[in-house]
Amino acid sequence: MTSKMINRGYIAYTTTALLIALSAMSVQAQVKELVSKDYGYSYRVIPQQPIDRLNDVWLNPTDAVQEQVVFRDPLGRPVLETSMNVIGLYDVFTPYEFDPTGRLKKQYLPFPGMGDKGLISNPTSAQSAYYNGCSSDNIQTDSKAYSYSEYEASPLGRPLWTEGPGAAWTGKRTTYDYRFNTSAENVYTIEPGQIPGTFYANWVYPSNALTVVKTTSPDGLVSQTFIDNMGRTVMAEQGGRKTYNVYDQLGRVAYVLPPLATERIAQVYNSTTTHTDSISLKTKDGVWVDPVSRLYYAYTYDDYGRLVEKSIPGKGSEEFVYDRVGRLILSRDGNTRRDGKWMFQKYDRFGRKAYSGVFASATTRQAHQLAAASSTSVYEGYATGTTYTLGNSYPTVPADGVLTEYHYDNHFTMDATSAMSAGFSTTLGSARGLLTMTRSRVLDTQLWVTSYFFYNPDGQLLVSKRVNGFRGSTQYSFATYSFTGQVVSSRFVHSEAGTVRLTLNYYFTYTHGGQVKTIEREIPGGMARELIAKYTYNALGEMTQRKLGGENALQQVDYFYNLRGWLTQINDVNSSADDLFSQKLHYADGLSAVGGQARYDGMLSGSEWRVNWNGSAKSGSKMAYGYRYDAQGRLASAVYASGDNLTQDLNGYNESFSFDANGNIQTLTRRGRANDGTFAQLDNLSYAYSGNRLNSVTDGAPNGSVNNLGFKELNSTGNDYIYDSNGNMKQDLNRGIAQITYNVLNLPTEASVDAQNRFTFTYTATGEKLRMVEQTATSTKTLLYDGPLTFDGTLLQSISTPEGRINSNGYSAYVQEYTLTDSQGNVRVTFDRGTDGTARVKETRHYYPSGLVFSSYQTGAVNKFGFGGKEEYGSPLGWLNFHARMYDPAIARWSVPDPLAELTKHESPYLYCAANPVNFSDPSGCYAIEGNHGSRWYRGAFWVYNSTIENWVTINLDGSSTVYQDHNFGGSPGSQGYEYNEKSNTYVDRATGKVINFDVVSSNFLSSEIVSGFNFSDNDDIFNFQMDKGGFSFCVDDGKNGYYMAFDFNFNNKAFISDYKFNYSPGEDKYLDAAYNFFDPLSNGLEAVAGSHFTASNFFREGYWLTKGGKYYPLSAAEKGKRGWNLLQTSLNSASNEFKWFGRVGTSVGYVTAFYSGVKFSLHPSWENGIELTVNAASMVFWEIGAAYTIFDISSKSALLNYNLRINHGLNPFNEKIMP
């Protein structure tokens, strides 16, 4: 089998067995040189320059292509992977070693070398030699550069232990133990009760009833999973903390009981008690009661398996309403229910979000659902121009309730002047299937922020236009791309009242591997074109050097790694040379001077750092923290010391924590420097809770003893903190805040001490902050945010840039300011260019692990972005803005629950960074991720030319440049040469940057729904197919002559809706031909006719087949063994003897074919495989879908295969032209 894609794509050749005889073609002869006679191979070429003919691949210079080869043994297992011409002149090799039964035994780390057409002699010896002498690549030398796995001697082949790379990890294994439970472990059998909001702990599982998988980390952290005989996880235990999943009779998750709820149950039921009484979770009216008050997750489903209500610990319940095809259209939470409102979202004909908003309604969920089920239309169209209809689908909503709008397929008017776009192309391609305009309302106003998107013929974002109705400004962003889809230049233009006030240009160069090499910045008439950053990488692609501030860098930052790719050093912490900041991270080597024990799981045992500035000169003491953790991996203590030998100021800035079972902080202690210069206790905090909600904090340390720093207890009676129905903190008496109000996004809009002292915030409906007003009795300060620009009133104050910011005094006096950050992204040093041409320090900071600053220096304009790189709000708030939530470092807690709390049900929704802020970070305020030190830290990304969350381009240091649209996160990674764009929900060809519009398959964990969808666009055509457990929809639109066909079928209420304009001649449009073939499939076979031939109650079982001869057959007759089945089978066989596609019909076969289709789609995300996966997944439940698709599939199979073949060969599947 061979396949190829030419021009902007890749060329691939594959053999699936031993090397077979190839023809005498010159190209194949070249390929034959790549392999020996003992190996099969997969070979892939990624052109870096335009290539017109296959032979040109080998005629071009080395830097014109990248090559990838995977060599396989006779059993098809990979033995060597090679990437050629990726990093400089080196090839990168990855060897594999398998045991006699074919299981991966040794996983070798990749290594660079000089190969011969992808091969290298003795690769394991070459790999060992590299890692024993890799210090020149800023990698610690090591004698063990592979991981090792041992498996049990059984047909199951389960791993017994794994041992990671690195000599220090020898004997430090992750072990796995497989056994059955014992009754003494007291694993409860918990079932939902008959009364909503109750469940029963009936008994303890007897011995041998559950399978137990025990995992022990190299540091001794133990986790266990208890699995029942249906393969469901009943209970998960980590470090003694137990989380239960409670299932209903249909196997769906009904309740999740986190560790703290489980503890309460254990207090009620012990091993000597009869477990027959129900435990109330809440009363019927929703009032929370003990023993599991505000501590559990609850899920309620309707008769069709759709999630209609859920409760998250500490929040009021959320409700959901769906349309006839199973899409979410209405929802409300505790606050919107309190206000008598519902959130809505509407869809266009292709199932894309058209608009969303909020409207007043006292109607219950049940009543809304009944009305939605009886609605005859499920999408909105255009009333006039670009104005959507408001009541075509349920419900009818008011125009002033619309908060966001999304428009697709057609470019709007650009209005950019030739002066703005000089040097940038404005030649547009087709926008079919692409987002072209968004509108986001400025909340509580009639104003909008509107963004327009314009694409080139390759589907890349060429120009964006942003109209900010709140400030009266317009911003344009332009971009040019390389052949491989990387942004090489960008321009940002800001205008007010029709006058251009600012133009900002960026220029980028890249390594051959696609990583950013240099960034230059220019403000015409304000700042000369200047190199602001230059990056150097080692042979493995890790960043080893970062130069900031011109050719003669103001600062040179060097990075060092261990062989696992973990960051170990930033500069040299033991040197007091010209480096303004340095840091050393300790893992398995420990940091015993401050009690840091060796860690083998990737968590830090300690950190040393030096800020080389004392306020007037480059001089600074080395400082350090040593870390210790509890049995759950949470940070228990951080011990401080300073001095070259870490013997000074021991325990000076210590911080320690204790936690409850959910990770809520129980106690927090801090030390700091007192007024007399000595160290003393700063905070001795005790926390009191109701569930996960914090009620009060008391401080046992005397206030004011340590320079007025740390937590301040201003309230000593009653509760300090009060919450709204969504669990948002609305009062903080310890900070003197009497009232905090929130918008529909759960973002604070006002925090007031009294009528004269308050903070107010203004946002768009997508969460973009536009304004902050700080009001006191004597002054008012207003900050306005407009894309990358920040204004102090009407005066431009700063411009965000990839390596810091540009300070300004209005539109003049621009000064580039740089920042140096630690491994967690915390800003440590801010500097600019001094009058003597060297780095001038503007600000320095030292942090406690919780984020409080314990020492700092500042001169000039304050940089408000510090801990985590997030904006700090001044007193009395003291918050850090993490976008989705506000964080209070004084008490180390979030003020609102986690929007993604269901991803970490075993933890408190208010827990910051998994109670481990030195190893985790939370860039968005939604989800804690492993810090930069524990992964390939060089894989960062730079924002390029627009800071709005609706439209940006990122320049990734690992080589990919991605255009992001829309503000939604989610999705899954791409495969086989495609990169998934999470915000636009599209695949982007990695080699070309061309957008390929596939909606990926996803799964609803709560309702166990299979949700799948599929979009494909080409020029003016759009082809769309979507499926979930509730139904499916199909739509095709030629986009030119107004021809289209659309239908929706709902499995739940047996309804079929069709809409079509289909008067055309065959061959006029191939998309419409394919759609027509669905309804006119076989010349002598069956025909499924939409409209009057079907009853309204059931499309399939109570509808009819209509033959070409004009005879009607009930679809129920198409069951196996009946005449309809025989007729169908005969028709299918006569249609295609080669493909036995009728085998898809039938539930049992559906499972196999669905699995096979899923594999095909994950490996080859084509539109044909997407439809096949969608249909086969649905056929597992509804065989009729498979039958209907079978007809469509066979009738158009030759066309589809032809289309797919053209795609694989780099051709446009519908016009047979080479992709541009």
- In this prediction, residue 1031 carries a pLDDT of 53
Cβ contact 842:831 at 8 Å? yes
C-alpha separations of 769 from 257, 327, 792, 893 in Å: 36, 30, 14, 22
Smallest CA-to-CA distance from 299 within 350, 356, 248 is with 248
Beta-carbon contacts of residue 812 (< 8 Å; ≥ 6 apart) = 526
The Cα-based distances of 242 to 203, 257, 604 in angstroms read 17, 8, 26
How far from 530 is each of 504, 507, 523, 550, 701, CA to CA, in Å?
Answer: 12, 10, 10, 6, 52
Q: What is the pLDDT of residue 390?
A: 95
User: What would the DSSP string read from start to end of 375-444?
Assistant: -S-----EEETTEEPSSSSSSP--GGGEEEEEEEES-------HHHHTTS------EEEEEEEEEEEBTT
Under 8 Å between Cβ of 46 and 68:
yes
Largest CA distance in the chain: 102
Residue 1004 · residue 1011 · CB < 8 Å: yes
**CA dihedral sign of residues 561, 562, 568, 573:** negative
In Å, what is the CA distance from 259 to each residue of 187, 191, 294, 449, 928? 13, 17, 13, 44, 19
The region that residue 41 occupies, defined by phi over 0 for left and psi between -120 and 50 for alpha, beta otherwise, is beta
**Burial code of 526-543, b = ≥16 C-beta within 10 A, e = fewer?**
ebeeebbbbbbbbbbbbb
The DSSP string of 1085-1121 is: SEE---STTS-SS-SSTTSEEEETTS-EEEGGGGSTT
Phi, psi of 225 (to 5 degrees): -120, 130
Given this model, what pLDDT does residue 1199 score?
37
Instruction: Please answer whether residues 921 and 914 qualify as being in contact, where contact means their C-beta atoms are separated by less than 8 angstroms.
Output: no
- Cα(786)–Cα(768) distance, rounded to whole angstroms? 9
Q: What's residue 289's pLDDT?
A: 40
Contacts of residue 548, defined as CB under 8 A and 6 or more positions apart, other chains included, come to 532, 533, 554, 555, 556, 557, 803, 818
Name the nearest CA neighbour of 108 among 138, 88, 130: 130
**Strand blocks (E) in 787-901:** 789-792, 795-801, 804-807, 815-821, 827-833, 839-847, 853-858, 871-872, 880-881, 886-888, 893-894
Going by C-alpha positions, the residue among 539, 561, 535, 537 that lies closest to residue 548 is 535
Query: Strand ranges (DSSP E) for 497-549?
Result: 499-510, 516-523, 527-537, 543-548
Count CB atoms within 10 A of the CB of residue 1112: 12
Query: Can you tell me whether residue 593 is helix, strand or coil?
Result: helix
What is the model's pTM? 0.78
| CA distances for 1007 relative to 247, 252, 303, 672, angstroms | 11, 6, 11, 51
Residues of the chain with pLDDT under 50: 1-37, 271-292, 933-1021, 1023, 1027-1030, 1038-1044, 1047-1168, 1170-1171, 1173-1175, 1177-1220
Distance CA 520, CA 814 (A): 15
Sheet holding 1104-1107, edge to edge: 1086-1087, 1104-1107, 1112-1114
* Residue 1173, CA distances (Å) to 921, 1009, 1021, 1146, 1165 in order: 37, 14, 22, 15, 10
Q: Mean pLDDT, the chain, as a whole number? A: 77
List all residues 6 or more positions away from 761 whose beta carbon is below 8 Å from its beta carbon.
Answer: 747, 748, 749, 750, 769, 771, 772, 773
pLDDT of 115: 76
Over its C-alpha atoms, the chain yields an Rg (Å, rounded) of 32
φ, ψ at 62 (rounded to 5°): -55, -40
Cis peptide before 395 (omega within 30 of 0): yes
Least Cα distance to 69 among 110, 34, 101, 104 occurs for: 34
Distances (CA, A) of 656 to 232, 637, 889: 38, 4, 14
Please state, in angstroms and rounded to a whole number, the distance separating the CA atoms of residues 599 and 577: 30
Q: What tokens appear for 774 in the block?
A: 């700080």
Task: Determine the 3-state secondary structure of 1199 from DSSP.
Answer: helix
In one-letter notation, the amino acid at residue 1025 is: F
- Tokens linked to 600: 């083998």
Name the token pair of 692: 């996960």
Q: Which of 147, 117, 144, 150 is nearest to 128 (CA)?
A: 144
Q: Annotate 997-1063 with DSSP letters as a single string.
A: --PPPEEETTTTEEEEEEEEEETTEEEEEEEETTEEEEEEE-SSS--EEEEEEETTTTEEEEEEE--
* Integer CA distances (angstroms), 123 to 162, 515, 542, 738, in order: 22, 26, 21, 68
Instruction: Report domain extents, the chain.
Output: 1-56, 172-301, 316-409, 998-1208
Q: What phi and psi, each to the nearest 5 degrees, are found at residue 651?
A: 70, 10
- Tokens 């031939």 identify what position? 1093
User: Going along 848-960, which residue ranges are E strands?
Assistant: 853-858, 871-872, 880-881, 886-888, 893-894, 920-921, 929-930, 941-943, 951-956
Side chain identity at 1118, as an amino acid letter? A
Q: Please, what is the end-to-end C-alpha distance for the chain in angstroms?
A: 26
Query: CA torsion sign, 1152 to 1158 to 1164 to 1166?
Result: positive
CB contact at 8 A, 479 and 945: yes
